[in-house]
Amino acid sequence: MQKQKCVFLDRDGVLNRELGDYAYKLDHFEVLPRVPEALALLKQNGFLLIVVTNQAGIAKNIYTREDVLACHHKLQQACHNIIDALYFAPGHQSVSESLARKPDSLMLEKAIAKYNLDPAASWLVGDSDRDLAAAARVGVRAILVGDKYGPGAHPLQAADLWEAAQVIVRNAE
């Protein structure tokens, strides 16, 4: 069976607007501009699309799994149900240890095994150092998006997912 290529996607700050605290209320959950178009471009170029997101607010009792699932449903609707899988890590180090939580890589490892993914042909788009660290642990190339870090903070940077998708498509194996 041939291995597949994938783009792993962090959620907050990549797919939806980063609110500074937790994005879990449906009326505040806003899909960023050009996200549906970026995902469609990646899908047209043969990539599976898998969301990997830390959701520590669950462990902290700020919101529930149902709140996360409702936001994921809204995201899927806005993107025409194009996302292949959505993984989330509900833990937080203040409550319990979790290998799923980025910068650890268990969410990615599970997806790699389940979907027969080729890490060398796959990418991760994230907006933080912990996203990039998780990608490095499994041998996936990474692109840093957003404005949290200055120019030169990472070898591959883009303003947003749309620009990152252009880079991925140009550099696809």
Q: Which of 10, 127, 131, 160 is catalytic?
A: 10
CA distance 13 to 31: 9
pLDDT digits (tens, 9 = 90+) for 30-54: 999 999 999 999 999 999 999 999 9
CA distance 15 to 67: 17
Q: Which of 19, 132, 38, 39 is nearest to 83 (CA)?
A: 39
Decide: 132 and 158 in contact? Cβ < 8 Å: no
Q: Give the pLDDT score at 99.
A: 64
Tokens 């991925």 correspond to what residue? Answer: 168
Average of per-residue pLDDT values in the chain: 91
Q: Give the pLDDT score at 98.
A: 65
Q: Is 52 exposed, middle or buried (0-12, 13-18, 19+ CB in 10 A)?
A: buried
Q: Which of 12, 67, 104, 160 is catalytic?
A: 12
**Does 12 participate in catalysis according to the annotation?**
yes
Q: Which of 128, 124, 101 is nearest to 112 (CA)?
A: 124
Q: Give the pLDDT score at 97.
A: 58
The continuous run of DSSP H or E covering 135 comes out as helix 129-138
Q: Give the pLDDT score at 89.
A: 87
Q: Give the pLDDT score at 104.
A: 87
Decide: 116 and 85 in contact? Cβ < 8 Å: no
Q: Give the pLDDT score at 101.
A: 73
CA distance 146 to 14: 7
Q: Name all domains of the chain by residue range, CATH numbers in brackets.
A: 5-170 (3.40.50.1000)
Share of the chain residues as helix, strand and coil, in percent rounded to the nearest 5: 35, 20, 45
pLDDT digits (tens, 9 = 90+) for 141-157: 999 999 888 888 889 99
Other C-beta atoms lying within 10 Å of the C-beta of residue 84: 16
Q: Give the pLDDT score at 91.
A: 57
Record the pTM: 0.93
pLDDT digits (tens, 9 = 90+) for 54-107: 988 888 888 999 999 999 999 999 999 999 999 998 755 555 556 677 888 999
Q: Give the pLDDT score at 160.
A: 97
Q: Give the pLDDT score at 173.
A: 62
